């Protein structure tokens, strides 16, 4: 496997989730495939809760890629299907954490990703 800049970000973010935030390896899936509008897409990192439902979607970009509204639109489209409670976008340098507010169909920004309880 070639270690692309995006893959470097993904590997470091998975390590962060496991080592710093205490998420069990068994609840983390990489490049999980989903179908949106008859097109196959993949999440970079998907963290499940203990019930097996999506809890966190992480979208990783290469460090030189600026995180824009388009990046959030991409992860929001994935979440229309997955219905995860948290969305994270990172390029390894900047990290954005959002908690979903399904009732109002929006998200609120958080200071950091929650620890695994």
pLDDT tens digits for range 61-110: 999 999 998 888 889 888 988 999 999 999 999 999 999 999 998 889 99
Rounded CA separation 13/1 (Å): 18
Topology of the domain comprising 5-110: tt1808, chain A (3.90.1570)
pLDDT for 1-59, tens place per residue?
678 999 999 999 999 999 999 999 999 999 988 888 888 988 999 999 999 999 999 99
Q: Enter the pTM of the model.
A: 0.92
Burial category of 56 from C-beta neighbours within 10 Å (exposed 0-12, middle 13-18, buried 19 and up): buried
**4 backbone dihedrals φ, ψ, rounded to 5°:** -75, 165
* d(C-alpha 27, C-alpha 97), whole Å: 19
The sheet with strand 86-90 has its strands ordered as: 28-36, 39-48, 54-60, 86-90, 95-101, 106-110
Count Cβ atoms below 10 Å from residue 21 Cβ, excluding itself: 14
Q: What is the Cα–Cα distance from 33 to 44, expressed in whole angstroms?
A: 9
**Domain-wise residue ranges, the chain:** 5-110
Q: Are 76 and 83 in contact (CB under 8 A)?
A: no
């Amino acid at each position: 496997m070639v270690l692309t800049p995006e893959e470097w970000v993904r590997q470091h973010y998975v390590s962060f989730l496991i080592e710093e935030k205490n998420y069990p390896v068994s609840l983390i899936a990489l490049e999980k495939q989903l179908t949106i509008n008859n097109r196959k897409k993949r999440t970079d990192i998907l963290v499940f809760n203990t019930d097996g439902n999506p809890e966190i979607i992480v979208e990783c970009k290469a460090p030189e890629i600026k995180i824009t509204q388009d990046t959030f639109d991409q992860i929001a489209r994935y979440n229309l299907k997955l219905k995860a409670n948290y969305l994270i976008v990172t390029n390894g340098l900047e990290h954005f954490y959002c908690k979903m507010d399904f009732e109002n169909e929006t998200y609120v920004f958080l200071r950091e990703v929650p620890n695994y309880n």
